[in-house]
Structure 1
Amino acid sequence: MKLNTICIIDDDPIFVYGTKILLNHNKDFGDDVLVYENGKEALDNLSSILRSGQKLPNIIFLDLNMPFMDGWQFLDAFIQLPISEQPLIFITTSSINQEDKDRALHYKIVKEFLIKPLYDSQLKKLFEKYN
């Protein structure tokens, strides 16, 4: 099965660029990639998608440290939305702090805690595990 839409919420343009390249190399991932530079922008746009009756992305790659609204604030707000089909959220961070990992995995919607950078083999394993 091919995923329709992937969302990247991250303020690091190098990470976003690299992740988009990896996604393009994995044909099982969708063609549509939504990119937001912070949690506020993502929350506003994803809420709008939801209100319009469209489907949310299948997967969200979420950074924790961003301006305006960080990943934690995004998660707290996102889980309050009336979503029937929850996307899979993968935390993508440079943090190796075990407390961050424990906190992230406390959210039921968060499936994995991934340390940057992402690798092709990681994406393939994620697809196999969650497809």
Structure 2
Amino acid sequence: MYPFDLIVLIDDDPINNLINKRLINKLNLTPKTIEFLEAEQALEYLKNPDLEKKVLILVDINMPVMNGWDFLSQYVELENQRNDRIIMLSSSIDFQDRQKSKEFPFVSGFIEKPLTHEKLETFI
């Protein structure tokens, strides 16, 4: 049994997505991992009412067009329909980013890149 039905990676860097997906597969956390280079595409995907129930979303903060904060602001509209677990995954070491992530009650945590087994395990 997997802890998650689906893990969604949202990061504009395809290399980060590839590395993170390999780590997730190695840890056997989910049967399905989907990557999005743009947060808008991820939001559209998450609007699907038939989507898996136990979903973990790892979202980067610094992305073009729609950044991680914009994603969270728009995700609020979906929050009542979904019960996803969201973790901010960023290279930012700014304390204010960590504090800002706490303003969103549906954000479970903040992980500084790179993603590691140990960092991810603290939120599972």
TM > 0.5: yes
Q: Which residue of 1 aligns with 2:68?
A: 71
Q: Which residue of 2 aligns with 1:5?
A: 6
1:123 to 106, 120, 124: 120
Alignment pair present for 1:98 and 2:95: yes
Partners of 1:111 and 1:56 in 2: how far apart? 17
Partners of 1:126 and 1:94 in 2: how far apart? 18
Structure 2 stretches lacking a partner, 5+ long: none
Q: Secondary structure at the match of 1:8?
A: strand
Percent identity, aligned pairs only, is 29
Q: Which residue of 1 aligns with 2:111?
A: 114
How many pairs does the alignment contain?
A: 123
Partners of 1:70 and 1:56 in 2: how far apart? 25
Partners of 2:115 and 2:84 in 1: how far apart? 19
* Aligned CA-pair RMSD: 1.6
Q: Deviations over 1:105-131 (max 9, x none)?
A: 11001111110001112223322xxxx
Partners of 2:26 and 2:122 in 1: how far apart? 14
Structure 1 stretches lacking a partner, 5+ long: none
Point out 4+ residue stretches in structure 1 off by more than 6 angstroms: none
Question: Which protein is richer in helix relative to its size?
Answer: 1
